[in-house]
Amino acid sequence: MTPRVPRLSILWVRSTSAWSFGATDSCSGGWGPALASRVADGSDFRSDRPDRAQKSRFRARWSPLAIAGRLAARVARTTPPSKRRARDAAWEAIMKKARAAVERRCRKQASSQAGRKKHALGSSQAKPSTSDAYAGTIPEFPEAPAGLAKPQEEVVLQASVSPYHLFRDAAEVTVFRENLLSWYDQEKRDLPWRRRAKGEVDLDRRAYAVWVSEVMLQQTQVATVINYYTRWMQKWPTLQDLASASLEEVNQLWAGLGYYSRGRRLQEGARKVVEELGGHVPRTAETLQRLLPGVGRYTAGAIASIAFGQATGVVDGNVVRVLCRVRAIGADASSTLVSQQLWSLAQQLVDPARPGDFNQAAMELGATVCTPQHPLCSQCPVQSLCRAHQRVEREQLLTSQSLPGSLDVEECAPNTGQCQLCAPPTEPWDQTLGVANFPRKASRRPPREECSAICVLEQPRALGDARILLVQRPNSGLLAGLWEFPSVTVAPSGQCQRKALLQELRSWAGPLPASHLQHLGQVVHTFSHIKLTYQVYGLALEEQTPVTTPSGARWLTREEFHTAAVSTAMKKVFRVYEGQQPGTCKSSRRSQVSIPASRKRPSPGQQTLDGFFQPHIPTDASSLNSAAQ
């Protein structure tokens, strides 16, 4: 609670009232009384406006921070020594609010001037206007109470960035563009979306082809996407075809690709283009990002540059790696400062004549040459411009005893500690990594762990294959709208799993025999932020057992299950039910399947030992005859 100070509120009202009416000529440069008199008699005062200097002096004197400083000084003179502590507390409260208001204004003005160069020193002969000085400084208060620190004169509004991390002349940019595009023309991979975009004359269909590929390639490898992209474009070759499809069909084709919300948002965007935009895809990156759901800054830039030829840069994981190594950016690439700098570099480098090819070339370089581990620096077309490669050469020469001395290589001033694009001092250079020291790996939170009991409920049929029960997940959240086996979230300890799972099963299929429920094993699957352990159960019903099929559930054959809209985790669960060999899935490092030891097949070594100690029993006739003789 702020201590009360006598006359504090009165002083504040008296001081701030001058802001509106102008107390004296001296404080406002002749503006206050003149302006008040003209307003009072209704005359037109526009022809006699005060000049900029007068306005600046007025703002400087009657800004909230200046008023607070004079007010605090006045309180200091009128407050007796016995109330000095209360006076200091009041000063703290006043200055905190006033300083916060000024700093917000300073940051706003500085952000609008970001990227502009400072004025030449020769222009400093003329006195700068108070408003310009006000944008970067906080006024000083010589009358502040004793014992309180004065506010800092300068407010640091822009991070210090060394020219070492930038492209400083047009020659470097030109060489980078020419070398990269020349390499791309010779080494680019033949991919289906590139062929389709290149051969498509209709701009909307070309944009749709690029759009689908860019969404599928998010967090997914090219080799995995090729098959999905081909099947997608065969089924829905135009935006109109996708807009008329059902979400069930989209989820069914997307099943196994991961990050299932991407397919849903892609269809939502197609419907918006068809229903609200007349079937025409927005032509610029800005309108693409603003109008289409699920289209972020990267996807919008990729579509605009590849399909429409807009000269806009893009930054994805591959481009981040390339730029961080080329300009030796060792700070956390996920931070706001570094992210903005990378986007600025990408925009500076993009070739206005071939923006789509340039962006694809930068991504291609990061995917095939400038890889996260074991990069192929000898094949890099921009090696001569790579700061990381220069750093590797310098470190190798410094550690070599046969070559004493230091290499004359430009580097960022490491001793100042002010460059926020360099690696922090706590992360020294690792000689074994080489250029892979860049970019810095961001620390990730470990996924939270959850446990779920899940059951494959199978019903035999007199005619045809047996059927299994699937239920649909909610339309929002993890795996939205997909189908899965009935499950229930349980504690990792495993207590009361069977009881909770039986209750869930009976809510879907009616009364079920509890004695037939068997635990088969577990499946561990890691999503982007959740490590989910499925405790797999199986329950095979008798043929005469009556079951119900409520809304949101359906019975499918095994063949229908493999083509349904189910996640990869559900296919792992079904493999455990079918009794397949456990182990780590080859198609996904993040999934692991295991079954109880009582149900596991013996290893090859164990089979050899068992065969050695068991008596050999011949099975063919010749062996029987020879044994009888």
Cβ neighbors of 258 (< 8 A, separation 6 or more) are 219, 220, 568
Q: Give the C-alpha separation, 460 to 206, whole Å.
A: 49
Q: Catalytic pick from 153, 154, 214, 458? A: 214
Q: Give the C-alpha separation, 157 to 135, whole Å.
A: 10
Three-class DSSP category at 585: coil
> Which residues share a beta bridge with 458?
468, 540
Three-class DSSP category at 29: coil
Other C-beta atoms lying within 10 Å of the C-beta of residue 532 = 20
Q: Give the C-alpha separation, 379 to 183, whole Å.
A: 10
End-to-end CA distance of the chain: 109
Angular region, 137: left φ>0, alpha ψ -120 to 50, beta rest: beta
Q: Give the C-alpha separation, 393 to 431, whole Å.
A: 11
DSSP 540: E
Q: Give the C-alpha separation, 348 to 325, whole Å.
A: 16
Q: Give the C-alpha separation, 614 to 610, whole Å.
A: 6
Q: Give the C-alpha separation, 101 to 77, whole Å.
A: 26
Paired sense of beta strands 448-459 and 530-540, if any: parallel
Which amino acid is present at 185?
D
Nearest to 213 by CA among 200, 201, 196, 199: 196
Q: Judge residue 493's burial from the number of C-beta atoms within 10 Å of its C-beta, 0-12 exposed, 13-18 middle, 19 or more buried.
A: exposed
Q: Give the C-alpha separation, 477 to 612, whole Å.
A: 55
Q: Give the C-alpha separation, 223 to 227, whole Å.
A: 8
Q: Give the C-alpha separation, 81 to 482, whole Å.
A: 74
Quick one: tokens of 367? 């995917």
**Residue at token pair 């481009």:** 319
Nearest to 161 by CA among 331, 293, 295: 331
Q: Taking the CA of residue 120 as centre, how many other CA atoms within 13 Å lie in the half-sphere pointing to its CB?
A: 2
Whole-angstrom CA distances from 26 to 18, 58, 93 are 12, 10, 29
> Which residues share a beta bridge with 450?
532
**Residue at token pair 């081909």:** 230
Q: Give the C-alpha separation, 39 to 47, whole Å.
A: 13
DSSP 108: H
Q: Give the C-alpha separation, 310 to 83, whole Å.
A: 67
Cβ neighbors of 25 (< 8 A, separation 6 or more) are 32, 33
Three-class DSSP category at 472: strand
Is residue 214 part of the annotated active site? The answer reads yes
Torsion sign over Cα 395, 399, 401, 404: positive
Q: Give the C-alpha separation, 202 to 200, whole Å.
A: 6
Whether the CB-CB separation of 512 and 506 falls below 8 Å is answered with yes
The residues assigned a catalytic role are 214
